[in-house]
Structure 1
């Protein structure tokens, strides 16, 4: 079982559920985000270490991993959660915002995976997990940039899973096909369990992490029981 996890793009939703569960399982946790002020309460609660980084910048990703190495030792598991989206009709989209969407959602995933793989190849083991969305497999109207980014992230995961699995590095992609429950987005009273419980999602990540390597999963889809697919 891995001993140190880095959750990139950490926040109060799924990342927080993952962090709490990992700590409960005896895994040391590092949290990374562009603005770490939002992580103060969570870091204090679970004893995690927070790091500021813009994952679309190669130098900042390299510095992030160096800092984690120095504080906690080399990571065994990396979870990539960042994403950014801009919505609108194709003809109205701002190219700069589209580039930012791709940079954070997909290019950052490459940078983080590359830095993680360099360390895990030396260790001889590890796990790299990517958080996808409905847009990973379905392009919705007026959401082309997000679909582009999430499709690219899925392609990255599939490609490096085939490359790194024989090296004892487990790569997995999680299609979160539905809305994630939060304090700002609770289930309607008349529709219980109509959104994904982040704690339940975290349990699936842990289950995939614990898989024997004779039967590894590279992708799993998660959706509420009422979600269409």
Structure 2
């Protein structure tokens, strides 16, 4: 495992879970970090704790994503790490789903990821260096009933990651897709007392992201799955 080869980071779709844990680890490693979300009021505790910079973005709007990358560049330099953690969900029977709401969900999960990857690639390709990490889910491997839009978005995200990895890796850009296969532990969703470590610890997930970022280019992973030891698959 090499030392951290990147100088700064941008996390899109930031919150208190995985991205919060990753922000702490990156800041502990000495990297300036921009965290972006549609509502940055919720990020104030994380900003106060870590000193990260919070910026507003609607990830489904390509102009806003481009503006976010430009503002990030102005604040901390061209981002060498871009993490896409945003997603949209609409649940219900297929026959009853609102097509407009499905479109919005796909706009965040799939198109938003493309906008972010495209904006990052424009900056990383001339530098010959960078890392793009895309947060996937179980739904990107198998679609569940009553959750078609989420599966559609996450399947598209995985395809984007695979294609981008094949195109950009030879240009020095590490693209990786992380399949988060299971429920992520949270304050409102703790482990059952009789089933310890039956959900994914966000700090442990974030450590996996950090390990990916430290991989030597002779042994890059384009995809990795993380799941609790008791999760069936």
5+ long unaligned stretches in structure 2: none
Residue 172 of structure 1 aligns to a residue in which SS?
Answer: strand
- Which one of the candidate residues 204, 211, 217 is aligned to 2:208? 204
**Alignment-derived partner of residue 176 in structure 1:** 180
CA distance in 1, matches of 2:16, 2:191: 17
Matched, 1:189 2:199: no
1:115-154 map, 5 Å: 115-154=119-158
Q: Deviations over 1:94-119 (max 9, x none)?
A: 10111011100000000000000110
Quote the residue 1:38 is aligned against. Answer: 42
Alpha-carbon distance in 2 for matches of 1:97, 1:184: 26
User: What is the match of residue 52 of structure 2?
Assistant: 48
Per the TM alignment, residue 72 of structure 1 is displaced from its structure 2 partner at its CA by 0.7
Q: How high is the TM-score relative to the length of structure 1? A: 0.99
Quote the offset at 1:176 in angstroms.
0.2
Between the two proteins, the alignment pairs up a number of residues equal to 229
| Structure 1 outlier segments of 4+, above 2 Å | none
2: distance between equivalents of 1:114 and 1:40? 28
5+ residue gaps, structure 1? none
In 1, the alpha carbon distance for the partners of 2:130 and 2:22 equals: 17
Alignment equivalent of 1:157, drawn from 148, 157, 161: 161
TM-aligned CA deviation for residue 58 of structure 1: 1.0
1:91 corresponds, among 85, 92, 95, to: 95
TM-score normalized with structure 2 length: 0.97
Q: In the alignment, what sits opposite 1:14?
A: 18
Superimposed CA distance per residue, residues 159-183 of structure 1 (whole angstroms, 9 cap, x where no aligned partner): 0100000000000000000000000
TM-fit CA distance, 1:27: 1.2
CA RMSD after TM alignment: 0.5
